[in-house]
Amino acid sequence: MKKFALIVAAGFIINAITSTALLFPEGNDIKLEKPVSNLNVDLISALENRKSTRNFSAKPVSPGDLSTILWAANGINRSDGKRTAPAPMGIYLIQIYVASSTGTYFYDPSKGVLKFISDKNIKGMVGRQADIPHASYVLILTAKLDMLPSRVNNESKIAMANATAGCIAQNVYLTAAALGIGTRIVAGMNIEGITGELKLVSDEVPLYIMPLGYPQ
């Protein structure tokens, strides 16, 4: 019986590692799966299930679920290129990066791809809370403030960025809740570390991180 349990446990671990590796082949951009068109969960149910998760299991979030969450966050939902989240002055200044166990990527909504940045696992250094490295992925939201017109003062730019990122975060929350995946918005970040690892220029500011994983 003990031998059988060990075999089952080993199989689960191998499957988890393989699932992540298949999604993130080393050194390559990733073509995301098409997001699902129907989750069979109504909005009220998703709101009832929306909560912040602080303990994550080892079960990996699937490529399809990650793709659906990213699309819901700030993907294109109309033929004119407009997106699921609002944009101040029609300018999409919020950027989303994905940190995984096998690398770090930039989400490109226009092409439906994750663009390769590095093969380094930065989940353990982006936030201060001990549970974050255990999530399947960590979304990192930044704002490219220089995309806004120079006539807008810096205080207003930050306000616009935070409001927009908040809308994106709620999209993530509700979609994750509909999929049975845990997340939360985290403001306590290693800003210097994130800036260095993502090679951000001075006018691109980290705003929040959001770990994604199945609740423990």
Over the stretch 138-163, which tens digit does the pLDDT of each residue have?
A: 999 999 999 999 999 999 999 999 99
Distances (CA, A) of 40 to 97, 179, 184: 28, 10, 23
pLDDT, position 212: 98
Confidence class of residue 7 from pLDDT cuts 50, 70 and 90? very low
pLDDT, position 113: 97
HSE value, Cβ hemisphere, 13 Å, CA-based, for 45? 7
Mean per-residue pLDDT over the chain, rounded: 89
Range in 3-12, 36-45, 176-185 the model is least confident about: 3-12
pLDDT, position 38: 87
φ, ψ at 74 (rounded to 5°): -160, 35
As a whole number of angstroms, the distance between CA 192 and CA 6 comes to 42
Confidence class of residue 11 from pLDDT cuts 50, 70 and 90? very low
Q: Can you list the domains of the chain with their CATH numbers? A: 2-213 (3.40.109.10)
The pLDDT of 178-206, averaged and rounded, is 96
Q: At what angle do helices 63-74 and 154-179 cross, to 10 degrees?
A: 140
Range in 19-23, 125-129, 168-172 the model is least confident about: 19-23
φ, ψ at 99 (rounded to 5°): -100, 130
pLDDT, position 24: 55
Confidence class of residue 6 from pLDDT cuts 50, 70 and 90? very low
Cα–Cα–Cα angle for 45, 49, 53, nearest 5°? Answer: 160
pLDDT in tens, 81-137: 999 999 999 999 999 999 999 999 999 999 999 999 999 999 999 999 999 999 999
Residue 76: pLDDT above 90?
yes
Q: Are the CB atoms for 141 and 207 separated by under 8 Å?
A: yes
Q: Are the CB atoms for 102 and 137 separated by under 8 Å?
A: no
As a whole number of angstroms, the distance between CA 207 and CA 142 comes to 5
The pLDDT of 38-44, averaged and rounded, is 91
